[in-house]
């Protein structure tokens, strides 16, 4: 369905920006996770905000001043004026809705639109005339207008373009990044027509200090999001492929990158595990839509295959190092430091560290996993992994630095040595997936060291 670019009926013209600024109308943020919470907190400093999430436990944590995402911190949660709720009827009190629910993929790598469809149903049941609904969830081009709008219309009985309007503004939150924050990242905004675009832009400009970029259409904004993450995915895949080849050549990949980086136009990408809810997922949305139109992706799909296979590649090299150190593979004690998909955040969604663990299990190895950021119950429920405290690590044959948490970077050489079962470091294996350790120092102390 193509949203018609009709003006609101006379007497119902859009003027939400002024109403929101004067606190006569409220903003509702649907989905209080790593994306929704920062934008909700930011808007709550300028406007009346309703924070809605279906997860009652999470809502109660927020009400108690606890931030399980670690994105904004307990202090910000405690002092915010936002109203937290899991009661969808509260959404009737808002006229500017921001949808920030996850958009994962199914086991067959096809888009799973269930969360965004569910959010559209919830909003539709509580939508009032004169409202704007802005979707931030990553989708392939066309989802906002062709999937979400019909649901909003059906559930509300209202007409899009006449009674309410829609827009799309892709999230650009970088979990765990305290430098590139919501306020200083340019925000792409779009609307179904010029009137809605201007209102959406002005509302976001209340909190986005870096300013906004007005996309020419909703589909352009949707495409920009999947493309910017697909581009990063392809570049990392290229480095991962080089890392696999250099490993066969006995060449250190990081040394090559540092040498190459002396040229002014070199791209600063490193090999690694590519998981999470964005880069490890978004390319599949693009691939899916392209295939629906009869085009079979070549570069993007190839990059995804390379990156999806890196967990197994790391696991295979762990086994090789065990063999070279004359250790029994089946009885080896492997300690993996890090479970999250990236450093300094508790997010374990689509973590590729899990691929390393599953590959090691094929050799009857059940590794010990440590991650101070991750909720132990969540790890158990999501991946059936029991986490161990860092202070309990001992008698290891191999220690794998899988995630570059600050706590792991600060581990000293003597401390590292105490975690192994041998005083002979030549048999103590250190696997450095993120190239976060000082190679020369480890070699000085005679550790058996391998990095991606």
- Residue from 208, 211, 28 nearest 128 by CA: 28
The encoded tokens of residue 206 equal 């209340």
Whether the CB-CB separation of 303 and 279 falls below 8 Å is answered with: no
- In the residue annotation, 278 being an active-site residue is answered as yes
Residue with tokens 């892709």: 170
H-run or E-run covering 164: strand 164-168
Neighbours of 365 (CB within 10 A): 21
Q: How far is CA 4 from the centre of its chain?
A: 33
Q: List strands edge to edge, sheet with 334-337.
A: 368-370, 334-337, 398-401, 429-432, 448-451
- Residue from 78, 29, 88 nearest 54 by CA: 88
By three-state DSSP, how is residue 335 classified?
Answer: strand
H-run or E-run covering 401: strand 398-401
Measure the CA–CA gap between 13 and 249, rounded to whole angstroms. Answer: 66
Measure the CA–CA gap between 211 and 65, rounded to whole angstroms. Answer: 30
Whether the CB-CB separation of 153 and 123 falls below 8 Å is answered with: no
Measure the CA–CA gap between 126 and 131, rounded to whole angstroms. Answer: 11
Measure the CA–CA gap between 213 and 200, rounded to whole angstroms. Answer: 11
Measure the CA–CA gap between 327 and 422, rounded to whole angstroms. Answer: 11
Options 148, 160, 278, 398, the catalytic residue: 278
H-run or E-run covering 444: helix 439-444
- Residue from 349, 342, 287, 280 nearest 309 by CA: 280
DSSP state of 144: I
Measure the CA–CA gap between 6 and 100, rounded to whole angstroms. Answer: 26
The encoded tokens of residue 303 equal 């990059």
Whether the CB-CB separation of 340 and 173 falls below 8 Å is answered with: no
The encoded tokens of residue 153 equal 């219309």
Q: Which residues pair with 299 in a beta bridge?
A: none
* Residues classed as catalytic: 278
């Amino acid at each position: 369905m193509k949203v018609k670019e009709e003006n609101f009926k006379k007497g119902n013209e859009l003027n939400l920006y002024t109403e929101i600024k004067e606190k006569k109308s409220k903003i509702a943020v649907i989905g209080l996770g790593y994306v929704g919470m920062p934008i909700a907190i930011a808007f709550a400093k300028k406007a009346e905000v309703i924070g809605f999430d279906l997860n009652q436990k999470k809502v109660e944590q927020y009400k108690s001043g606890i931030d399980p995402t670690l994105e904004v911190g307990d202090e910000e949660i405690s002092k915010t004026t936002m109203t937290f709720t899991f009661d969808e009827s509260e959404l009737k009190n808002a006229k500017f809705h921001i949808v920030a629910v996850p958009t994962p993929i199914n086991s067959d790598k096809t888009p799973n639109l269930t969360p965004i469809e569910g959010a559209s149903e919830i909003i539709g049941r509580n939508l009032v005339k004169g409202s704007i609904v802005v979707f931030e969830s990553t989708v392939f081009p066309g989802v906002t207008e062709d999937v979400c709008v019909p649901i909003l219309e059906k559930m509300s009985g209202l007409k899009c373009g006449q009674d309410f309007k829609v827009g799309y503004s892709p999230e650009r939150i970088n979990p765990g990044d305290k430098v590139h924050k919501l306020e200083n990242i340019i925000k792409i905004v779009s609307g179904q027509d010029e009137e809605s675009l201007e209102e959406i832009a002005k509302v976001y400009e209340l909190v986005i200090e870096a300013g906004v970029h007005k996309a020419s259409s909703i589909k352009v904004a949707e495409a920009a999001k999947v493309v910017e993450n697909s581009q990063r995915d392809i570049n990392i895949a290229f480095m991962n492929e080089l890392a696999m080849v250099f490993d066969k050549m006995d060449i250190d990949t990081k040394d090559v990158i540092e040498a190459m980086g002396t040229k002014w136009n070199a791209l600063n990408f490193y090999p690694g595990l590519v998981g999470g809810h964005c880069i490890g997922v978004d390319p599949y949305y693009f691939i899916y839509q392209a295939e629906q139109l009869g085009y079979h992706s070549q570069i993007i799909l190839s990059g995804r295959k390379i990156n999806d296979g890196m967990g197994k590649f790391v696991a295979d090299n762990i086994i090789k190092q065990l063999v070279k150190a004359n250790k029994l593979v089946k009885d080896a004690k492997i300690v993996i430091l890090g479970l999250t998909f990236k450093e300094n955040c508790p997010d374990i969604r689509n973590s590729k560290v899990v691929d390393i663990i599953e590959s090691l299990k094929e050799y009857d190895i059940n590794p010990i996993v440590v991650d101070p950021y991750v909720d132990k119950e969540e790890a158990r429920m999501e991946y059936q992994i029991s986490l161990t405290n860092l202070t309990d690590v001992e008698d290891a044959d191999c220690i794998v630095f899988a995630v570059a948490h600050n706590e792991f970077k600060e581990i000293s050489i003597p401390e590292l040595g105490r975690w192994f079962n041998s005083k002979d470091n030549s048999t103590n294996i250190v696997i450095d997936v993120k190239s976060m350790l000082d190679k020369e120092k480890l070699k000085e102390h005679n550790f058996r060291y391998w990095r991606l």
